[in-house]
Amino acid sequence: MTNNSIEHLGIVESVRENQLSVRIVQTSLCASCHAKGYCSSADKQDKLIDVNDADAASYRVGERVMLIGETSMGVMAVALPFFFPFVLLVVALFLFMSRTGSELLSALLSLGVLVPYYVLLWLNKARLKKRFSFRVKPINN
């Protein structure tokens, strides 16, 4: 693994013309802890990732593969739904507070500013899906 890539071990779940569905097990750091049985924060879940690949037909269901993505994808995957809306919320709150003087009204208006932001993200999901794409590499056993 290079410094600017993210790798996940996965298993091919389905193969279509030029697309693979790969199941990865996403674990938090807690899930590998020896005390996870005594802690309620340990968490582990399966994710299905769709990968566009011209050589998809060369893979078989059940085959182990390595999913490879860029580190910048991870940063943007956190920034778009969490960091940018938080900054937008705080800026809007201060702007509305300076204009209205009412905390309740400012809070409601600030929350309302998030609605168009998330609608804009939803409308651009096809473009974002292209930007957040993984490559797949076979694992030679």
- Scan for tokens 């995957």, then name that residue: 77
pLDDT-based confidence at 128, cuts 50/70/90?
confident
**pLDDT over threshold 70, residue 9:** yes
Amino acid in the structure at residue 19? Q
Q: What integer pLDDT is reported at residue 38 of this predicted model?
A: 60
17-31 pLDDT tens trace:
888 888 887 766 565
Strands (E), the chain: 5-16, 19-27, 44-52, 64-70, 135-138
Query: Higher-confidence residue: 78 or 96?
Result: 96
How far is Cα 68 from Cα 9, in angstroms, rounded to an integer?
9
How far apart are alpha carbons 75 and 88 in whole angstroms?
Answer: 18
Among candidate residues 71, 52, 55, the one with its CA nearest the CA of residue 8 = 71
Three-state secondary structure call for residue 68: strand
Whether the predicted pLDDT of 104 surpasses 70: yes
- pLDDT mean across residues, the chain: 84
Higher-confidence residue: 13 or 2?
A: 13
pLDDT in tens, 55-93: 888 888 888 998 888 888 878 888 999 999 999 999 999
101: alpha, beta or left? (left if phi > 0; alpha if psi -120 to 50): left
